[in-house]
Amino acid sequence: MWCSRMALRRLQRIAAAAAAAPPPTGGLTSITRREMSTLQRVYVTRQIPPEGLRILRESGQVQLDLWDSDDVPVPREELLRQVRGVDGLVCVLTEKIDTELLDAAGPNLKVLSTMSVGFDHLSLEELKKRGIRVGYTPDVLTDSVAELTVALLLTTSRRLIEATHEAKTGGWGTWRTLWLCGHELANSTVGILGLGRIGVAIAERLAPFKVKKFIYADVAPRPELASVIDAEYVSFDELAERSDFLAVCCALTPETKEICNKHLFSKMKNTSIFINTSRGGVVNQEDLYEALSTGQIAGAGLDVTVPEPLPTDHPLFTLKNCVILPHIASASHTTRNAMSAMAANNLLLGLRGEPMIKELHS
């Protein structure tokens, strides 16, 4: 497992080595030694964490423009205007990279680097058609996502949000035998939908809670990863039927879109807890609301929704047995800086025609 702190240090070394290395023929050592017009133009669609911006600014390789806000995404019209003629683009998951944007950018665009592990916001087929290389940032967020998933699971299963509300609003009266009782992990079966590094990291953190069994479903068995946590490969239906806790860790693809729907929830136990920290689009939220409101399942914890942000009047917010977070699974200072550093290094390496740290090959 690639710890995000170790990853960040490695990415810093990569950037330092690139900056110190002799430039290629006709290359640049610093902005001051060449006219700005000779630098490759890069647009960054968000005020990404400081480590990534530092790497880009100190590289001496690019002329950098960015949407200087972390609170408000760049308006679409502004984005389409800013990308004209750029050589490289650094984006986050709020920006839809589609035909319209790529047409606006024009033929100079050679490298796209997204500060995300997910890539459902990218038109990969269109990028491939145009020969644009794509970097992304997996692995470095494994630890933080796994930690948040465990926190969300425990918060949901032990009804901590409900309990906090009762304590604050006067609902805490005399001690009662079954009041706010939840579901514990000891002797339970934990199911994982989509077993990758994050799924393994979640299971490793849950194992000390005396979980009896780990099971998983995926497009095919993953014996190497499964052996790390002694997990059993099962069918999709069996995963639903046997899981006391079901954690969704799969990517959003055409095959997984709304895969968690009425069919899945109808097969789950009425004591089961459903957790999603992957992508909101893998869940049919109307079916989830029905399952939660009728007691078909015991509870759900969501870090991702459709849309994001979820409107405050959405029916899921009315349910006491549904905990909703604002997509914060990777939100630790270490991880977000490591993600921005990898995104920056991916971009610079790609612009130099060198292998990226992590590149998408469709």
Total residue length of the chain: 362
Tokens found for residue 154: 């425990």
Q: Is the dihedral of CA 155, 156, 161, 167 positive or negative?
A: negative
Helical residues (DSSP H) of 21-98, grouped into ranges: 50-58, 76-82
How would DSSP label each residue in 251-298?
A: PP-TTTTT-BSHHHHHHS-TT-EEEE-S-GGGB-HHHHHHHHHTTSSS
Which structure tokens are listed for 353? 């025609």
Counting beta carbons within 10 angstroms of the beta carbon of residue 320, is it exposed (0 to 12), middle (13 to 18) or buried (19 or more)? exposed
| Contact present, 149 and 277 (Cβ < 8 Å) | yes
> Distance between CA 125 and CA 362 in Å, rounded?
8
Closest CA to 76 of 92, 96, 90, 93: 96
Burial per residue of 72-98, b for 16 or more beta-carbon CB atoms within 10 angstroms, e otherwise: eebeeeebeebbeebbbbbbbbebebe
Confirm whether 361 is a catalytic residue. no
Half-sphere exposure of residue 58: CA atoms within 13 angstroms, side-chain side = 17
Phi and psi torsions of 47, nearest 5°: -75, 85
| Tokens at 30, concatenated | 């610093």
Q: 104: how many CB neighbours lie within 10 A of its CB?
A: 16
Please calculate the CA angle 261-267-269 and round it to the nearest 5 degrees: 115
Q: Out of 165, 183, 263, 327, pick the active-site residue.
A: 327
Report whether 349 contacts 59 (CB < 8 A). no
**Catalytic residue set:** 327
